[in-house]
Structure 1
Amino acid sequence: MDWQFLFETFVSLISAIPLTLELAATSIALGAVLALSLALCRLSGIIVLEWFARAYVFVFRGTPLLVQIFLIYYGLGQFPEVRHSFLWPFLREPYWCAVLALTLNTAAYAGEIIRGGLLSVPFGQIEAARACGMPRLMQFRRIVLPLAIRQALPGYSNEMIAMVKATSLASIITLMEVTGVAARIISESYRAIEVFIVAGAIYLTINFLLTRLVHLAEYWLSPHLRQPAPYHPVATSVSPLEGNAR
């Protein structure tokens, strides 16, 4: 094992970590908003919205992410309507094509996770909010959504980890994130094992830190798991005069 080469590879791959984190964070944030919209469409009771959400989830969960990236990056540019639209300055850039593909893909999975979290909210909590006179929007914002997030967070953390690993597919459309830089180093040195060991260790570290952050969020959203501070009663001294007066 050439430790000098491993160190040089690690230094080279570090420069690509910000792009990997940026791709993952942007797609997760945008995907969460879209996923919440899909979950609300599924639960809205409106047939058109419900079937649209069903079709969306079916398409993006049933096709590989690699195919979706290819269709967005190589396919959209074949339509003149797209090339002459205001979206073309974004869609001709590999970065935004990767973000769009990752966002659309994660929204399909996260939408079902969030829908499960919304369905898991006890109906008694909603009835109590109604009895207090809360409007529906306030019920959703203060009662339903926090409980749903707590229930969906363990499953959603798996999707976030999957998105961090899925950013490696962005290298096929010329983005130099961690896997892209690793592929370039391999093409120059022909030492695939050492390079991928370092790249795998970087992804493992990122996902470990992400898992710790999710555990902290679960702990913060679960007051019943936090032990109350021990109560130590303060002993008050009674003077002799007060004792005689009593």
Structure 2
Amino acid sequence: MQWYWLPEYLPAFAEGLWLTVQLLTLAIVFGMALAVPIGLVQVTGPLPLAWLARGFCTVIRGTPLLIQLWLIYYGLGSLFPFVPAIRESFLWPILRDAFPYAVFAFTLSVAGYEGEVMRGAFRGVPKGELEAARALGMSPFQVLRRVWLPRALQNVFPTLAGEFILTLKATPLAATITVFEVYGIGTIVRQETFRIYEPLLFVAAIYLVLTGILILFFRWMESRMPRRRA
């Protein structure tokens, strides 16, 4: 084992780590913002929107994330340079970079998987609790915000935590479209130093630490949730 290369590449790994954290955070935030209505509409309707949501979840869960990522980057991303309105707008400096396409692909992935999880979570909340909230005079939005959504999240919080960890471990796929997060930097190190195992072990250690931090964070969040009384 030789680690002579590590001090030289530590700044690059720090940048890659920051990129990984950004990608994961944005995908979770935007993905869950989509997953909640996707799950809810499958339970409440209307039927056409419920079918559309089910179809979306089926496509996302039934196809590999790598293919989705490539379709978005090499498909959608390759069209924008030929659209003058986009190329000349303020969005072009952002859209010509690969990172937004990675965020978009991972957001859709989170939305598809967690949308199905939230469907089961909403359906699993006892109807009696919702009827009691309505009997107290709450509007439909108040029932959702104060009772239905909190209870649904409480029921599936451990599942969501596990799904987010899987999303973290999928972030190396972004390196295939030139988003050089932690794994991408490790690949560069292997190509430039001809060291195979040490960079991979270092990258694995970084992901292990990140996973541990996520586990501790979600356990802390779970401990702060109100316990359901029997």
Deviations, residues 65-90 of structure 1 (Å, cap 9, x unaligned): 11111111111145479734549724
Give the Cα–Cα distance (whole angstroms) in 2 for the partners of residues 192 and 171 of structure 1. 17
Equivalent residue number for residue 193 of structure 2:
189
Shift of the 71–122 alpha-carbon distance from structure 1 to 2, 3 Å rule, reads same
Give the TM-score of the pair, scaled to structure 1.
0.84
Give the Cα–Cα distance (whole angstroms) in 2 for the partners of residues 185 and 48 of structure 1. 50
1:13-162 alignment runs, 5 A limit = 13-79=13-79, 83-84=83-84, 86=86, 89=92, 90-162=94-166
Deviations, residues 94-153 of structure 1 (Å, cap 9, x unaligned): 010000000011110010111111111122211221221212111111111111111121
Give the Cα–Cα distance (whole angstroms) in 2 for the partners of residues 199 and 80 of structure 1. 34
Of residues 167-176 and 123-132 in structure 1, the stretch that sits farther from structure 2 once superposed is 123-132
Query: Shift in Å at residue 4 of structure 1?
Result: 3.9
Partner amino acid, structure 1, of 2:181: E
Matched, 1:164 2:202: no
Query: Between Structure 1 and Structure 2, whose CA radius of gyration is higher?
Result: 1
- Count of aligned pairs between the two proteins: 225
**Contact 1:94 / 1:175 at 8 angstroms: preserved in 2?**
yes
> Which stretches in structure 1 are left out of the alignment for 5+ residues?
226-246
> Which stretches in structure 2 are left out of the alignment for 5+ residues?
none
Partner amino acid, structure 1, of 2:44: S
Give the Cα–Cα distance (whole angstroms) in 1 for the partners of residues 202 and 66 of structure 2. 23
Give the Cα–Cα distance (whole angstroms) in 1 for the partners of residues 81 and 43 of structure 2. 34
Shift of the 15–52 alpha-carbon distance from structure 1 to 2, 3 Å rule, reads same
Partner amino acid, structure 1, of 2:184: G
Classify the secondary structure of the residue corresponding to 1:15: helix
Give the Cα–Cα distance (whole angstroms) in 1 for the partners of residues 219 and 12 of structure 2. 31
Give the Cα–Cα distance (whole angstroms) in 1 for the partners of residues 115 and 55 of structure 2. 12
Of residues 27-36 and 83-92 in structure 1, the stretch that sits farther from structure 2 once superposed is 83-92
Give the TM-score of the pair, scaled to structure 2.
0.90
Shift of the 48–91 alpha-carbon distance from structure 1 to 2, 3 Å rule, reads farther
Q: 2:184 aligns with which of 172, 177, 180?
A: 180
Deviations, residues 27-51 of structure 1 (Å, cap 9, x unaligned): 1100001111211221123121011
Give the Cα–Cα distance (whole angstroms) in 1 for the partners of residues 80 and 214 of structure 2. 41
Query: Shift in Å at residue 5 of structure 1?
Result: 4.2
Equivalent residue number for residue 232 of structure 1:
none
